[in-house]
Structure 1
Amino acid sequence: MTHVSVIGCGNMGGAFVKGLAQTGAYEVTAIDLDPEALASVADDADETTDDIDAAREAEIVVLAVKPKAVSAVLADLDLRPDQSLLTIAAGVPRSFVAGETDATVVRIMPNLAAETGDMAAAATRDGIDDNVRELLDAVGEFVEIDEELMDVSTAVNGSGPAFAFYLIDAMKEAGIDGGLDPEQAETLAAQTFKGAAETVLRDDRSVSELIDAVCSPNGTTIEGMEVLWDSDADAAVIEAVEAAEQRSRELAEEFDDE
Structure 2
Amino acid sequence: MAKLDERIGFIGGGNMAFAIGSGLIRGGIVKPSQVLVSGPHIENLARWRELGAVTTDENYEVLEHTDIVFICVKPHMLAPCAAQLKYKHVPSAKDASKLIVSVLAGTSLQTLEEKFDFIESSGLKVIRTMPNTSMQVGEGCTVYTGNSRVTHQDLEKVHLMLNALGLAQQVPESMIDAVTGVAGCGPAFVYTMIEAMADGGVKQGVPRQMALQFAAQTMLGAAKTVLLTGKHPAVLRDEVCSPGGATIVGVHELEKGNLRATLINAVEKSSQRSAELGKK
* Both proteins in one fold, TM over 0.5: yes
**Are the equivalent residues in 2 in contact too, given 1:108–1:124 (CA < 8 A)?**
yes
- State which drifts further: 164-173 or 63-72: 63-72
Aligned partner of 1:55 among 51, 63, 67: 63
Residue 29 of structure 1 corresponds to: 36
Instruction: Give the alignment of 1:218-237 within 5 angstroms.
Output: 218-237=244-263
Aligned partner of 2:11 among 4, 7, 10: 7
- State which drifts further: 8-17 or 228-237: 228-237
Residue 143 of structure 2 corresponds to: 122
Listed one character per residue, the Cα deviations across residues 9-51 of structure 1 (whole Å, up to 9, x for unaligned) are: 1121122222112111213222222113211321124312223
Residue 84 of structure 1 corresponds to: 99
Query: How many angstroms apart in 1 are the aligned matches of 2:259 and 2:56?
Result: 47
- State which drifts further: 109-118 or 203-212: 203-212
Query: How many angstroms apart in 2 are the aligned matches of 1:159 and 1:186?
Result: 21
Residue 77 of structure 2 corresponds to: 69
CA 1:42–1:194: 2 relative to 1, 3 Å: same
Deviation at 1:146, TM superposition (A): 1.6
Deviation at 1:84, TM superposition (A): 1.8
Query: How many angstroms apart in 2 are the aligned matches of 1:118 and 1:40?
Result: 21
- State which drifts further: 123-132 or 165-174: 123-132
Residue 38 of structure 1 corresponds to: 45
Instruction: Name the TM-score, length of structure 1 as normaliser.
Output: 0.90
Listed one character per residue, the Cα deviations across residues 180-210 of structure 1 (whole Å, up to 9, x for unaligned) are: 1110000111111122222222222121222
Quote the sequence identity (%).
32
Residue identity matched to 1:132: V
Query: How many angstroms apart in 1 are the aligned matches of 2:77 and 2:68?
Result: 20
**5+ residue gaps in structure 2?**
none
Listed one character per residue, the Cα deviations across residues 96-141 of structure 1 (whole Å, up to 9, x for unaligned) are: 2123243411111111111111111121254461001001111111
Instruction: Give the alignment of 1:177-196 within 5 angstroms.
Output: 177-196=203-222
- Structure 2 residue 224 is matched with structure 1 residue 217: no
Residue identity matched to 2:235: E
Query: How many angstroms apart in 2 are the aligned matches of 1:41 and 1:71?
Result: 25
Query: How many angstroms apart in 1 are the aligned matches of 2:16 and 2:179?
Result: 16
- Structure 2 residue 127 is matched with structure 1 residue 106: yes
Residue identity matched to 1:72: P
Residue 206 of structure 1 corresponds to: 232
**Are the equivalent residues in 1 in contact too, given 2:19–2:133 (CA < 8 A)?**
yes
- Structure 2 residue 266 is matched with structure 1 residue 240: yes
Give the secondary-structure state (helix, strand or coil) at the position aligned to 1:81. helix
**Are the equivalent residues in 2 in contact too, given 1:17–1:30 (CA < 8 A)?**
no
CA 1:65–1:156: 2 relative to 1, 3 Å: same
CA 1:217–1:45: 2 relative to 1, 3 Å: farther
Query: How many angstroms apart in 2 are the aligned matches of 1:144 and 1:208?
Result: 27
Residue 21 of structure 2 corresponds to: 17
**Are the equivalent residues in 2 in contact too, given 1:17–1:45 (CA < 8 A)?**
no
Residue 160 of structure 1 corresponds to: 186
- Structure 2 residue 199 is matched with structure 1 residue 173: yes
Instruction: Name the TM-score, length of structure 2 as normaliser.
Output: 0.83
Q: How big is the alpha-carbon RMSD for the aligned residues of Structure 1 and Structure 2? A: 2.0
Query: How many angstroms apart in 2 are the aligned matches of 1:167 and 1:5?
Result: 35
- State which drifts further: 214-223 or 151-160: 214-223
